[in-house]
Structure 1
Amino acid sequence: MSSSSYSQLDRLLWVMDCLRDPDSGCPWDLKQDFASIVPHTIEEAYEVADAIERQDKADIQEELGDLLFQVVFYARLGKEKQWFDFEAIAGAMAEKLIRRHPHVFGEHSFSEQEVKQNWELEKARERQAKANDEAVSALDNIPLALPSLTRAYKLQKRCANVGFDWPDTTGVLDKIHEEIEEVQQELARSKRNEEALEEELGDLLFATVNLVRHLKKDPETALRRANAKFERRFRQVEQHADEKADGVTGLSLTELEHLWQSVKAAEK
Structure 2
Amino acid sequence: MIERLVGIMARLRDPEHGCEWDRAQTFATISPYTIEEAYEVADAIARGDIPDLKEELGDLLLQVVFHSRIAEEAGQFALPDVVAAISDKMERRHPHIFGDATASPGWEAIKAAERGAKTTNESGGALGGVALGLPALSRAEKLQKRAARVGFDWPDASGPRVKIDEELLEIEGASPTELEEEVGDLLFAVVNWARHLGVDPEAALRSANAKFERRFAAMEAHAGPLFPELTLDEKEALWAAAKTAERS
What letter matches 2:190 in structure 1? T
Q: Once the 2 structures are TM-superposed, how far is the Cα of residue 135 of structure 1 from its aligned partner?
A: 7.4
Partner of 1:154: 142
Residues 81 and 247 (structure 1), Cα distance of their counterparts in 2 relative to 1, 3 Å cut: same
Partner of 1:57: 50
C-alpha distance after superposition, 1:37-74 (max 9, x if no partner)? 11111111111111111111111110110110010011
3-state DSSP of counterpart to 1:213: helix
Gaps of 5+ in 2: none
Q: Once the 2 structures are TM-superposed, how far is the Cα of residue 20 of structure 1 from its aligned partner?
A: 1.6
Gaps of 5+ in 1: 1-7, 110-116, 187-192
What letter matches 2:235 in structure 1? L
3-state DSSP of counterpart to 2:118: helix
Give the one of 55, 59, 63 matched to 1:70.
63
Residue 109 (structure 2) pairs with residue 121 (structure 1):
yes
2:44 and 2:52 in contact (8 A); partners too: yes
What letter matches 2:24 in structure 1? K
Partner of 1:266: 245
Structure 2 CA distance for aligned equivalents of residues 44 and 253 of structure 1: 37
1:1-268, aligned counterparts within 5 Å? 8-108=1-101, 118-131=106-119, 136-186=124-174, 193-242=175-224, 247-268=226-247
Q: Once the 2 structures are TM-superposed, how far is the Cα of residue 241 of structure 1 from its aligned partner?
A: 2.0
Q: Once the 2 structures are TM-superposed, how far is the Cα of residue 234 of structure 1 from its aligned partner?
A: 0.7
3-state DSSP of counterpart to 1:144: coil
Higher mean alpha-carbon deviation, 201-210 vs 255-264, is at 255-264
Structure 2 CA distance for aligned equivalents of residues 79 and 29 of structure 1: 15
Q: Once the 2 structures are TM-superposed, how far is the Cα of residue 140 of structure 1 from its aligned partner?
A: 1.1
Q: Once the 2 structures are TM-superposed, how far is the Cα of residue 80 of structure 1 from its aligned partner?
A: 1.1
Q: Once the 2 structures are TM-superposed, how far is the Cα of residue 228 of structure 1 from its aligned partner?
A: 0.7
What letter matches 2:42 in structure 1? A
Q: How many residues align?
A: 244
Structure 2 CA distance for aligned equivalents of residues 18 and 137 of structure 1: 43
Structure 2 CA distance for aligned equivalents of residues 23 and 180 of structure 1: 59
Structure 2 CA distance for aligned equivalents of residues 103 and 227 of structure 1: 41
Question: What TM-score do the two structures reach when normalised by structure 2?
Answer: 0.92
Q: Once the 2 structures are TM-superposed, how far is the Cα of residue 205 of structure 1 from its aligned partner?
A: 0.5
The root-mean-square deviation of aligned C-alpha atoms, in Å, is 1.9
Question: What TM-score do the two structures reach when normalised by structure 1?
Answer: 0.85
